[in-house]
């Protein structure tokens, strides 16, 4: 059997632009209100810390013994502590301490961690084994314990504290940089840089470091928050800064001593820590999301709704939908006539009528995926659904199963299975259909099965649900099913896990699961596409055998002309969300009617025609969804 | 199972050996000499030499290392510089309080973490999800010792519902032990719970988006079974790793919050020994905690192998 795929013609669209450029990340960052609030909060804290002598009403060390442990007053807005220090002023000066120690220790952590990670990731071998051991040991030590030990050895002091906290987080940086360097090193461009004779140093500084900037910014912000927490904890214990230097942790130490008589004293420094750390963590999350493009703000969505989109936004939107979505299509009248509908099966088990499937984009636009599609499948018939990637064939299958992804829905139309309407069912109502009347096998053999459950468990569960069997009976039945789909030693293999099966065997297991409830229709959604040609043939033969034995109908979704020709009674051709042509397999391959079908068949390489260049299919639809007359 | 345990022990034991060598060599990092540190400002070269002689600090490193390992095998961690008591004995007095607190903290962290994570992970994007996930962000930012101060202020000092000084040994009064552990466990467990909750939510969302979820749904397996049996078990694989990380964090945090609850655990011992540069005690506490972390990670690795068949040795 020769295989050829229809995909490349559709995939020849210009490659998607890199979605993680710094300019784009910055644009996204500006549209995240939470992140923006975090940035403003941090800016305010920095200003307060920098301008402490100007802002603070009293000097850091200034004591007022006439007012000791006093509550808030006009003179002391937040009251005073046991030495008569003004709490507000202490709070402001402590922000300085927190930032100096925090930033200092993150710098120390980076100075130790980044070069270490680069060397381990880049050199590999013994360096890596030794370094990884060091990181393992660091893992066995609670962070704060490292702080204790450093202070026990070196004594107390600001610089020692910065070093101690830096040391705690250095291993996290080393681990992260090592992981990123390892991935970057294996990438093609670094390997090609090697070939073109760039030196190691140039590769590290020119290629690897730029890719580290984003993750380092994220980790830097998060660890800055953590460092401030650790500084506060150590100062709270009296191990941190000298006592005369104001710190939030030190203030809480005093507050804890007076928690019974002056409980309010614990509030200001604690709140200051929470706000600072929270802002830094949110900033880290925000940068992360901006770099990966994971989040869009509500404002952004609104804006897109009410303003005409820019060209760049249109391009981005197209990219965003191109994987799932086809452009809206209007059939040109001349071409519509080419539609061949020998689609009048006398004994239909499944009837799809005038179905419209749409995707709701976040900005409110409704994009059609499948339009006005009619299709009937007869009892015991194998119907091939053939189309290139993005033609809407998988969406059609998912709509029949009621498994459309979030944001995609059936807008109108009907799907009737053995007299029962499938569109608009609730989750509970679907239970009468799924497994009992409809079964499905998806593409990726390994991912179709839960990796942490035995194959037996995944067969026994549906069997018990559909037939109300006891565990023991279901187990026997499961073994019979496995045996039927051609798994040898079936009873023994029930206790195996999916990773112990080859791709072809795993796909047979998935077929057995789909058959557990004796369905009337079995949908194969590219079920053989990931298998090698020999295995593919065997699995298709199995399906045809099972069809004979069990009398079920099969919908075989594929982009493979060979599969369609080998294993189908009738074939339906889909393109850009529309059904172009349905015919019995011989007529379709012998006399294709629609120009697209003709082009499709012409692009199929065969052994008897030797050609220099394989024919390709030019677009039949413009980017705006208009048909091009040919 | 036996094979899995042996395989994991093969990783843990060398790690433990290396850690004990590192802990042993800590005293060599002290600028000058530990003896000078003990004597403080009154140190003279003669007195330093005398103390070094007494403590055996002047003997060759190899000899001392052998002695250190010899002691370790017999459970002897040396003698404290300050009190002159055996370190093992000092640790033994403190370990019950620390272990009790960590146990309570881990229970709270796992219950909150897995509970919130599974709840939010099965309904991502809903109001409840956004509220609770926002709560986890806050939970990670709050300094635990401050939370401890707030909780004792409200529930012990103001409302008087719970004792302000918590520790009662289990052997003396089990109920008192339990009541005394409530506030410390909550304080200790909230940050860890937030970390576990975030991990659980993420891996729950990932598990429920995996193709096998569709396979099982299409085969007619009911939603609750997919969520709570298939989803949770798949999600637990990465969650277990985060529980190991949280355990190490909790030990460190327990050392800090002991002070808030006046717990007579390892933390206060470590604190006084750190300030007093009592190195045998510092070494003993570090070695004990490292062993505990390695042991718990060993347990987690074994559990990991039980849940995830692909992580089992062939």
Per-residue pLDDT of chain B (314 residues; tens, 9 = 90+): 778 788 888 888 888 888 888 888 887 887 777 777 777 777 788 888 888 777 777 778 888 888 888 888 888 888 888 788 899 999 999 999 999 999 999 999 999 999 999 999 988 888 999 999 989 999 999 999 999 999 888 888 778 787 766 788 888 888 888 888 889 999 999 989 999 999 999 999 988 888 888 888 888 888 888 888 898 988 888 898 889 889 999 999 999 999 888 889 999 999 999 888 888 899 999 999 999 998 998 898 888 888 888 777 66
**Residue A319: pLDDT above 90?**
no
Write the DSSP symbol of residue B149: H
Interchain proximity B146–A465, CB inside 8 Å: no
- Note the helical H segments in A420-560: 427-430, 455-467, 471-484, 490-493, 503-515, 533-550
User: In chain B, positions 158-187, which contact chain A (CB-CB < 8 Å)?
Assistant: 158, 164
Q: Which of A131, A139, A145, A152 to mutate to test the interface with B (most CBs of B within 10 A)?
A: A152
Asked if B147 and B190 touch (Cβ cutoff 8 Å), the reply is: yes
d(CA B167, CA B177): 7
A312 falls within a domain: no
**Residue A603: pLDDT above 80?**
no
Pairing of strands A578-584, A340-341: parallel
Q: Which residues of B touch A451 (CB under 8 A)?
A: 212, 234, 308-310
**Segment A548-570 mean pLDDT:** 86
Q: Which residues of B touch A436 (CB under 8 A)?
A: 220
Closest CA–CA distance from residue A155 to any residue of chain B (Å): 8
**Residue A420: pLDDT above 90?**
no
Tell me the CATH number at A205: 1.10.3720.10
* pLDDT tens string A533-546: 888 888 888 888 88
Interchain proximity B219–A232, CB inside 8 Å: no
Interchain proximity A451–B255, CB inside 8 Å: no
Interchain proximity B286–A141, CB inside 8 Å: yes
Buried b vs exposed e over A109-130: b needs ≥16 C-beta within 10 Å? bbebbbebbbbbbbeeeeebee
B219 at A interface, C-beta within 8 A: yes
Across A289-298, A333-342, B36-45, the highest mean pLDDT is recorded for B36-45
A471 falls within a domain: no
What number of C-beta contacts closer than 8 Å exist between A and B? Answer: 220
Q: What does the mean pLDDT of chain A come to?
A: 78
Which strand ranges, in their side-by-side order, compose the sheet holding A340-341?
A340-341, A578-584, A570-575, A382-387, A553-558, A521-525, A438-441
- Domain extent, residue A283, equals 15-299
A495 falls within a domain: no
3-state secondary structure of A445: coil
* Ordered DSSP codes for A24-68: HHHHHHHT-HHHHHHHHHHHHHHHHHHTHHHH-SS-TT-B-TTSS
More confident site: A30 or B44: B44
Interchain proximity A233–B256, CB inside 8 Å: yes
A315 falls within a domain: no
Asked if A115 and A123 touch (Cβ cutoff 8 Å), the reply is: no
**Segment A60-83 mean pLDDT:** 70
Interchain proximity A236–B220, CB inside 8 Å: no
- How far, rounded to the nearest angstrom, does the alpha carbon of residue A138 sit from its chain's CA centroid? 31
Lowest mean pLDDT of A97-111, A562-576, B36-50, B113-127, name the range. Answer: B36-50
- What is chain A's percent helix, strand, coil content, to nearest 5? 55, 15, 35
Buried b vs exposed e over A486-510: b needs ≥16 C-beta within 10 Å? bbeebeebbebbbeebebbbbbbbb
Other CB atoms within 10 Å distance of the CB of residue A307: 9
d(CA A207, CA A186): 12
Q: What percent of chain A has pLDDT over 70?
A: 78
Picking from A139, A145, A513, the nearest residue to B215 by CB comes out as A513
B136 at A interface, C-beta within 8 A: no
**Residue A331: pLDDT above 60?**
no
pLDDT at position A65, please?
66
Interchain proximity A450–B230, CB inside 8 Å: yes
More confident site: B150 or A21: B150
Lowest mean pLDDT of A74-83, A268-277, A379-388, name the range. Answer: A74-83
Total of domains in chain A: 1
A450 falls within a domain: no
Closest alpha carbon to B308 in B239, B237, B238: B237
pLDDT at position A325, please?
35
**Residue A55: pLDDT above 60?**
yes
**Segment A85-89 mean pLDDT:** 79
Picking from B137, B158, B290, the nearest residue to A140 by CB comes out as B290
**A142 vs A56, A159, A472, B19, CA distance in Å?**
37, 21, 49, 13
Compute the radius of gyration of chain B from its Cα atoms.
24
**Segment A300-325 mean pLDDT:** 38
**Residue A528: pLDDT above 60?**
yes
pLDDT at position A13, please?
34
pLDDT at position B107, please?
96
Across A73-87, A130-144, A538-552, B162-176, the highest mean pLDDT is recorded for A538-552
Asked if B196 and B119 touch (Cβ cutoff 8 Å), the reply is: no
Asked if B189 and B106 touch (Cβ cutoff 8 Å), the reply is: yes
Interchain proximity A140–B297, CB inside 8 Å: yes
pLDDT at position B102, please?
94
**Residue A378: pLDDT above 80?**
yes
A393 falls within a domain: no
* pLDDT tens string B71-84: 888 888 888 887 88
Lowest mean pLDDT of A42-56, A194-208, A400-414, name the range. Answer: A194-208
**Segment A489-512 mean pLDDT:** 89
**Residue A155: pLDDT above 90?**
no
3-state secondary structure of A571: strand
Write the DSSP symbol of residue A424: T
Interchain proximity B225–A153, CB inside 8 Å: no
3-state secondary structure of A243: coil
This prediction has a pTM of 0.81
Interchain proximity B211–A458, CB inside 8 Å: no
Q: Which residues of A touch B126 (CB under 8 A)?
A: none
* pLDDT tens string B48-65: 888 877 777 777 888 888
User: In chain B, positions 243-302, which contact chain A (CB-CB < 8 Å)?
Assistant: 248-253, 255-256, 259-260, 270-271, 273-275, 277, 279, 282, 285-286, 289-290, 293-294, 297
Picking from B29, B259, B307, the nearest residue to A452 by CB comes out as B307
**Segment A434-458 mean pLDDT:** 88
**Residue A9: pLDDT above 50?**
no
Picking from A269, A281, A441, the nearest residue to B137 by CB comes out as A281
A536 falls within a domain: no
Lowest mean pLDDT of A203-217, A274-288, B244-258, name the range. Answer: A203-217
Q: Which residues of A touch B22 (CB under 8 A)?
A: 137
pLDDT at position A322, please?
39
d(CA A48, CA A32): 24
A205 falls within a domain: yes
């Amino acid at each position: 059997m020769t295989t050829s795929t229809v995909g490349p013609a559709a995939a020849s669209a210009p490659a998607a632009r890199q979605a993680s450029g710094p300019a784009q990340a910055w644009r996204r960052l500006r549209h995240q209100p939470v992140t923006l609030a975090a940035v403003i909060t941090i800016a305010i804290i920095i200003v307060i810390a920098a301008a402490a002598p100007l802002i603070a009403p009293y000097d850091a060390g200034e004591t007022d013994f006439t007012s000791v442990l006093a509550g808030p007053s006009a003179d002391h807005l937040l009251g005073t502590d046991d030495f008569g220090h003004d709490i507000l002023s202490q709070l402001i000066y402590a922000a300085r301490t927190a930032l100096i120690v925090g930033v200092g220790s993150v710098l120390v952590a980076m100075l130790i961690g980044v070069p270490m990670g680069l060397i381990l990731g880049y050199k590999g071998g013994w360096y890596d084994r030794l370094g990884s051991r060091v990181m393992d040991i660091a893992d066995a030590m609670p962070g704060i314990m490292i702080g204790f030990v450093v202070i026990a050895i070196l004594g107390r002091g600001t610089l020692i504290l910065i070093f101690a906290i830096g040391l705690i987080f250095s291993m996290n940086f080393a681990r992260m940089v090592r992981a990123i360097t390892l991935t970057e090193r294996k990438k093609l461009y670094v390997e090609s840089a090697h070939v073109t004779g760039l030196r190691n140093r140039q590769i590290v500084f020119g290629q690897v470091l730029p890719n580290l900037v984003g993750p380092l910014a994220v980790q830097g912000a998060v660890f800055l928050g953590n460092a401030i927490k650790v500084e506060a904890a150590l100062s709270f214990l009296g191990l941190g800064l000298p006592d005369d230097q104001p710190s939030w942790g030190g203030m809480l130490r005093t507050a804890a001593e007076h928690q019974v008589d002056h409980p309010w004293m614990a509030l200001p420094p604690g709140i200051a820590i929470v706000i600072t750390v929270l802002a830094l963590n949110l900033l880290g999350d925000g940068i992360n999301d901006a770099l990966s493009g994971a989040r869009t703000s509500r404002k952004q969505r609104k804006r897109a709704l009410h303003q005409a989109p820019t060209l760049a936004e249109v391009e981005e939107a197209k990219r965003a939908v191109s994987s799932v979505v086809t452009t809206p299509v209007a059939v040109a009248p001349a071409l519509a006539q080419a539609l061949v509908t020998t689609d009048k099966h006398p004994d239909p088990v499944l009837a799809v009528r005038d179905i419209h499937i749409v995707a709701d984009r976040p900005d409110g636009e409704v994009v059609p995926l499948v339009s006005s599609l009619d299709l009937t499948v007869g009892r015991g018939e194998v119907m091939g659904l053939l189309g290139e990637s993005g033609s809407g064939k998988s969406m059609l299958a998912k709509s029949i199963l009621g498994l459309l992804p979030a944001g995609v829905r059936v807008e109108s139309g009907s799907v009737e299975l053995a007299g029962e309407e499938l569109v608009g069912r609730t989750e509970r109502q679907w239970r009468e259909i799924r497994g009992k009347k409809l079964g499905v096998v998806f593409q990726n053999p390994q991912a179709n099965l839960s990796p942490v459950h035995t194959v037996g468990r995944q067969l026994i569960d549906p069997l018990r649900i559909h037939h109300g069997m006891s565990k023991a009976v279901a187990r026997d039945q499961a073994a019979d099913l496995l045996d039927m789909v051609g798994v040898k030693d079936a009873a023994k293999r029930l206790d195996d896990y999916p990773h112990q099966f080859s791709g072809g065997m795993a796909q047979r297991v998935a077929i057995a699961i789909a058959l557990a409830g004796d369905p009337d229709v079995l949908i194969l959604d590219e079920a053989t596409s990931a298998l090698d040609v020999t295995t593919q043939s065997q699995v298709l033969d199995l399906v045809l055998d099972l069809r004979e034995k069990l009398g079920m109908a099969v919908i075989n979704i594929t982009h493979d002309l060979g599969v369609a020709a080998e294993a189908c009674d009738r074939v339906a051709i889909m393109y850009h969300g529309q059904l172009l042509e349905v015919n019995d397999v011989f007529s379709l391959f012998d006399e294709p009617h629609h120009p697209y079908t003709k082009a499709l068949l012409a692009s199929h390489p065969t052994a008897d025609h030797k050609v220099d260049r394989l024919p390709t299919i030019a677009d039949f639809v413009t980017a705006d969804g208009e048909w091009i007359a040919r | 199972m036996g094979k899995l345990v042996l395989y994991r022990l093969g990783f843990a034991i060398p790690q433990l050996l290396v850690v004990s060598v590192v802990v042993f060599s800590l005293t060599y990092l002290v600028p000058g000499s530990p003896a000078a540190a003990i004597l403080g400002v009154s140190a003279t070269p003669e007195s330093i030499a005398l103390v070094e002689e007494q403590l055996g600090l002047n003997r060759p490193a190899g000899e001392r290392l052998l002695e250190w390992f010899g002691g370790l095998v017999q459970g002897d961690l040396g003698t404290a510089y300050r009190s002159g008591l055996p370190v093992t004995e000092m640790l033994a007095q403190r370990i019950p309080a620390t272990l009790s607190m960590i146990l309570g903290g881990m229970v709270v962290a796992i219950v909150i973490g897995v509970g919130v994570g599974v709840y939010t992970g099965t309904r991502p994007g809903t109001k409840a999800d956004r509220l609770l996930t926002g709560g986890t962000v806050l939970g990670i930012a709050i300094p635990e010792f401050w939370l401890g101060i707030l909780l004792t202020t409200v529930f012990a000092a103001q409302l008087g519902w719970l004792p302000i000084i918590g520790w009662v040994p289990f052997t003396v009064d089990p109920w008192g032990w339990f009541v005394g552990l409530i506030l410390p466990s909550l304080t200790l467990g909230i940050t860890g719970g937030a970390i576990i909750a975030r991990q659980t939510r993420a891996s729950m969302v990932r598990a429920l988006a995996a193709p096998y979820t569709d396979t099982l749904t299409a085969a007619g397996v009911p939603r609750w079974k997919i969520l709570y049996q298939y989803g949770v078990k798949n999600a637990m694989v990465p969650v277990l790793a985060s529980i190991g990380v949280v355990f190490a964090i909790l030990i460190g945090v327990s050392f800090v919050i002991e002070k808030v609850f006046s717990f007579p655990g390892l933390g206060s011992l470590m604190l006084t020994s750190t300030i007093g540069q009592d190195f045998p005690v510092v070494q003993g506490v570090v070695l004990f905690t490292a062993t505990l972390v390695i042991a718990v990670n060993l347990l987690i690795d074994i559990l990991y192998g039980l849940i995830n068949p692909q992580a089992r040795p062939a």
